[in-house]
C-alpha cells in the first residue's frame, strides 16, 4: 500500500524539481530576513502575535518537502521491492530520530545551550 503510493508519487513528472524549488524559496526568504535592516543594526524586530505560527510554518514546510524528497529517492532506489523500501526508510530515519533524542536530552541537562540556536 505505502510502497505503491510512493511509487505513484515518484512517477509524477517534476515533483522532485518542485520540492527542490520549494526548498530554494524557503532558503531565499530566510536569507532575505536575516540580511534585513533590523538585523544589520543589531536590533531584533518586535515579535507580532502571529510569530509562533510563522515559525511553525518555517519548520514544517522545509521538513515536509525534504521528507517527501527522501521518501521519493528511497522509493526510486527500491524499484518496487517493499523490503528494500522498508529498510531504506528505517535506515534513513533512524539517525535523525537518534540525534534529535540526544540533542533534546542535552538541552534538558544544559538549557543555556539553547541560546546558541538564537
Question: Is 76 part of any domain?
Answer: yes
pLDDT tens digit string along 45-98? 555 667 777 777 777 877 777 777 777 788 888 887 889 888 988 888 888 889
Overall pTM > 0.85: no
Question: Is 46 part of any domain?
Answer: no
How many domains does the chain divide into?
1
Question: Is 65 part of any domain?
Answer: yes
Q: List the alpha helices (DSSP H) in the chain.
A: 2-10, 15-34, 37-40, 51-78, 82-109
Cβ neighbors of 59 (< 8 A, separation 6 or more) are none
Residue-level pLDDT at 105 = 92
Residue-level pLDDT at 51 = 74
Structural domain boundaries enclosing 77: 2-41+53-117
Averaged pLDDT for residues 91-116: 86
Question: Is 37 part of any domain?
Answer: yes
Question: Is 87 part of any domain?
Answer: yes
Of 21, 20, 34, nearest in space to 70 by CA: 20
Contact 74, 89 (CB under 8 A): yes
Residue-level pLDDT at 55 = 75
pLDDT tens digit string along 9-19? 667 777 767 77
Question: Is 47 part of any domain?
Answer: no
Residue-level pLDDT at 118 = 55
Question: Is 48 part of any domain?
Answer: no
Amino acid at each position: 500500500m505505502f510502497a505503491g503510493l510512493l511509487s505513484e508519487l515518484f512517477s509524477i513528472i517534476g515533483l522532485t524539481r518542485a520540492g527542490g524549488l520549494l526548498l530554494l524559496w524557503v532558503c531565499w526568504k530566510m536569507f532575505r530576513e536575516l540580511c534585513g535592516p533590523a538585523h544589520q543594526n543589531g536590533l531584533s524586530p518586535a515579535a507580532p502575535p502571529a510569530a509562533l505560527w510563522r515559525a511553525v510554518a518555517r519548520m514544517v514546510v522545509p521538513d515536509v518537502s525534504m521528507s517527501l524528497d527522501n521518501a521519493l529517492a528511497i522509493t526510486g532506489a527500491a524499484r518496487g521491492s517493499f523490503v528494500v523500501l522498508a529498510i531504506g526508510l528505517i535506515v534513513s530515519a533512524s539517525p535523525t530520530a537518534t540525534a534529535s533524542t540526544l540533542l533534546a536530552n542535552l538541552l534538558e541537562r544544559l538549557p543555556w545551550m539553547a541560546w546558541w540556536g538564537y
